[in-house]
Structure 1
Amino acid sequence: MHPALLGRHRAVMPDWLAMYYRDPMEITHGEGRHVWDAEGRRYLDFFGGILTTMTAHALPEVTKAVAEQAGRIIHSSTLYLNRPMVDLAERIATLSGIPDARVFFTTSGTEANDAALLLATTYRRSNQILAMRNSYHGRSFSTVGITGNSAWSPTSLSPLQTLYVHGGIRNRGPYAELTDDQFIRACVADLEDMLGQTRPETVAAMIAEPVQGVGGFTLPPDGLFAAFREVLARHGILWISDEVQTGWGRTGEHFWGWQAHAEHGPPDMLTFAKGIGNGMSIGGVVARAEVMNCLESNSISTFGGSPVTMAAGQANLAYLIEHDLQGNARRVGGLLIERLRAVTAGLPVVREVRGRGLMIGIELVDADGAPSPQAASLALEYAREEGLLIGKGGREGHSLRIAPPLSLSVAEAEEGAAMLEAALKRVQSETEGRTQS
């Protein structure tokens, strides 16, 4: 760590701008699945800048596309025809699975969800939104208002009326002991009961992450959102799938998270961001034309659809598809999950290893089985000392988040699992020492 840089950071940045580690680190460069800090130490990156370095650090195909486009023109805005934007929109529209799809580009996932909320509330002439408990959808005023995770919702004020339903967390809460089928039926009954307490025709949309990201990589049984969709469709309520973290094949089994719940077809809208730009600022909304075109006022985007970011997105998406990184996420992710379950089986501090593909959560608890943010913070520190970067999440900040670039090799998965095993054994030992004292 450079104390001078940290001091400068604290002098000009907000106090609430969170940073990892007791001694925050400066990352100076990366290559493949590794990054280096300012002291020259190399780390295996299992978090990808919050699931954003999707394919690899310094991927030549992406850096070349960015440099070539920057040499032509960097910026024009949406007031002019933009070939790279149209090219990428065409490909995303086709991949989305949404019929007659339209694409609007933004610069972040927060802005994408904000735009989806604007479309839904305008289309339905309502400001009522259904959201999931333990959810996270962004840091803007509107998206904070639909975030069901109190640790990331700094104000109760909102332009929206939000109703929270069950289903985002499978292993905690009043339905945790039910079978998967019973769990789905109970959550659907809860949704129908909630709609019975309001006027369903005045509810605009339900927004949900197929796998909750900040929430700790929790996920419901497959089919839950299909069952929800059946209820929503009876009342004309839109379904927005927040694919900011689950999109582009990260879950391995599917290209989009919603496809694990596809019995009644695709969502009315999906939002995306993070990985598509491989570090460049790209977000967006895909919606069927009827919904996307409901705005009756003028609108533009100054930075959404930037020629440079669109070039990066095209190159990154092409690389992902041509190299079957979704398949790699399924194969290597499956191996990594099983390896992590094996190495943590004898550690009481680990309550659960869960996830899908290269989106893996490890829930940590104290000796009484209660969520332990202290254990998660220690694990983060010890993993760094081992040479591994990971993330954390969960409502109490008690879950580790494992999300490497999708090009992760088997050897790197094994190396990372061994590092994490060593870190968690140190956490277990320290936790036992505190309990005995």
Structure 2
Amino acid sequence: MPSWLALYYERPVEITRGEGRYVWDAEGRRYLDFFGGILTTMTEHALPAVAEAVAAQAGRVLHTSTLYLNRPMIELAERIAELSGIPDARVFFTSSGTEANDTALLLATSFRRSNQILAMRNSYHGRSFSSVAITGNTSWSPTTLSPLQTLYVHGSVRTRGPFAGLSDADFTAACVADLRDVLDQAGGQVAALIAEPVQGVGGFTSGPDGLFAAFREVLAERGILWISDEVQTGWGRTGDHFWGWQAHAAGGPPDLLTFAKGLGNGMSIGGVVGRAEVLDCLAANSISTFGGSPVTMVAGLANLRHLLEHDLPGNARRVGGPLIERLRAFGSDVDFVREVRGRGLMIGIELVAPGTDRPWPEAASLVLEAAREEGLLIGKGGGPGGGVLRIAPPLSLTEEEAAEGAAMLEKALLRARSALGAS
């Protein structure tokens, strides 16, 4: 494996099995999973409905490719098109979120005949050559070479930057003015704006509700497409809405919506759903060898059915709200906790050096290790510095498990505070 393929923990954990919201390592120790394999185990570990569907399909045929008819793929595409809110939608399946965003960029630049893309500062959209080119988070941008001309705009980091001290309304107005200024200076026909409704790798940050609706008005004036990257926010993760874009619903849905991660509950599914005229715009053949694989499609269908029948988005709201408030109450007494933010079961805890506004990645690493010792798995990330703890458990998390995890995380913060000599 290459040296840049990082592992969590000084003593890396080998996960050997999972059940519900818990996983076990090779030594038999149990952990409460508050990260879900980077927001991918959406419903629960070893969900019987998914396991049974995968086993049954594997016994028939594993792979055919999109060159042949595939009933599960059509059924899942129809369901996603209906759920997307996009009229007369088309769906193309890929095998990852990176490939989904790469496809959306291909479609948008082909449709608009331009390689100019608007992206948000602090953003992350994948690890392919094109998606790195629109990633505004320097920690995840290993090259400045690019097939695209990317223009970055303000808006997705509410409590930092030049507009942080403004009210929500004034913040949105300032970001819209910035967007107009960028477009006036672009000197060409911009293809699209791609944006995460809540930034994932960037530390679960977001702008005020309605921000992208305000952006949409400016984009519509110039025919620019809006791509909503729902790889992490989709399927009800935020609790308040099924899609992250719905917090910015004025003006209607995006032109293109990308998805992945949670839909397969661990199976590799990604895709793009969008307006038919955009999805149909390619003038050459294009396929995805593994996109739409029968075995992943039946997993997605079973997982999505379980999610909806058990109202797991509603559960994310009911369990996530009190969890956020508990963490905020505790964090207010810890001087290196700058902010607890998020919605639903997508929660970020930003850590800074005491008495400063400077990200403290060393503290985040210590808390990550301490949480593991307590029996809790969490993530970390954030913008430059990476000082944000990321909490995103399966959406079936119970109130009792939320309380258990919060208690373990509080102990981990106290242990890290003691080790760091903070107050």
Q: Alpha-carbon deviations, 1:60-97, whole Å to 9, x = none?
A: 00000000111111100000000000000000000000
Residue 379 of structure 1: SS of its match in structure 2? helix
> Take 1:56 and 1:342, find their aligned partners in 2: how far apart are those partners?
28
Residue 186 of structure 2: SS of its match in structure 1? coil
Q: Do structure 1's residue 173 and structure 2's residue 161 form an aligned pair? A: yes
Letter in 2 for 1:329: A
Q: Do structure 1's residue 101 and structure 2's residue 65 form an aligned pair? A: no
Residue 342 of structure 1: SS of its match in structure 2? helix
Residue 401 of structure 1: SS of its match in structure 2? strand
- Name 1:132's counterpart in structure 2: 120
Q: Is the 8 A contact 1:250 1:358 kept in 2?
A: yes
Letter in 1 for 2:59: G
Q: Do structure 1's residue 422 and structure 2's residue 397 form an aligned pair? A: no
Q: Which of the residues 45, 49, 72 maps onto 2:33?
A: 45
Q: Which of the residues 370, 388, 398 maps onto 1:409?
A: 398
- Name 1:354's counterpart in structure 2: 341
1:239-388 matches, cutoff 5 A: 239-369=226-356, 370-388=358-376
Residue 22 of structure 1: SS of its match in structure 2? coil
Q: Do structure 1's residue 393 and structure 2's residue 393 form an aligned pair? A: no
Q: Is the 8 A contact 1:366 1:431 kept in 2?
A: no
Q: Structure 1 length normalisation: TM-score?
A: 0.95
1:19-30 matches, cutoff 5 A: 19-30=7-18
> Take 2:179 and 2:366, find their aligned partners in 1: how far apart are those partners?
38
Q: Identity percentage over the alignment?
A: 76
Shift of 1:147: 0.1
- Name 2:102's counterpart in structure 1: 114
- Name 1:9's counterpart in structure 2: none
- Name 2:111's counterpart in structure 1: 123
Shift of 1:299: 1.3
Q: Alpha-carbon deviations, 1:300-320, whole Å to 9, x = none?
A: 221100000000000000000
In the alignment, structure 1 segments of 5+ residues that lack a partner are 1-12
> Take 1:29 and 1:309, find their aligned partners in 2: how far apart are those partners?
20
- Name 2:57's counterpart in structure 1: 69
Letter in 2 for 1:374: E
> Take 1:121 and 1:303, find their aligned partners in 2: how far apart are those partners?
24
Shift of 1:404: 0.2
- Name 1:3's counterpart in structure 2: none
Q: Is the 8 A contact 1:55 1:320 kept in 2?
A: yes
Residue 45 of structure 2: SS of its match in structure 1? coil
- Name 2:134's counterpart in structure 1: 146
Question: Could you list the runs of 4 or more consecutive aligned residues of structure 1 that deviate by over 4 angstroms after TM superposition?
Answer: none
Q: Is the 8 A contact 1:167 1:220 kept in 2?
A: yes
> Take 2:198 and 2:276, find their aligned partners in 1: how far apart are those partners?
26
Residue 159 of structure 2: SS of its match in structure 1? coil
Letter in 1 for 2:197: P
Q: Alpha-carbon deviations, 1:85-130, whole Å to 9, x = none?
A: 0000000000000111000000000000000000000000000000
Shift of 1:145: 0.3
Q: Structure 2 length normalisation: TM-score?
A: 0.99
Shift of 1:342: 1.6
1:212-227 matches, cutoff 5 A: 212-227=199-214
> Take 1:347 and 1:228, find their aligned partners in 2: how far apart are those partners?
37
In the alignment, structure 2 segments of 5+ residues that lack a partner are none
> Take 2:274 and 2:7, find their aligned partners in 1: how far apart are those partners?
35
Q: Is the 8 A contact 1:122 1:294 kept in 2?
A: yes
Q: Do structure 1's residue 31 and structure 2's residue 44 form an aligned pair? A: no
Number of residue equivalences: 421
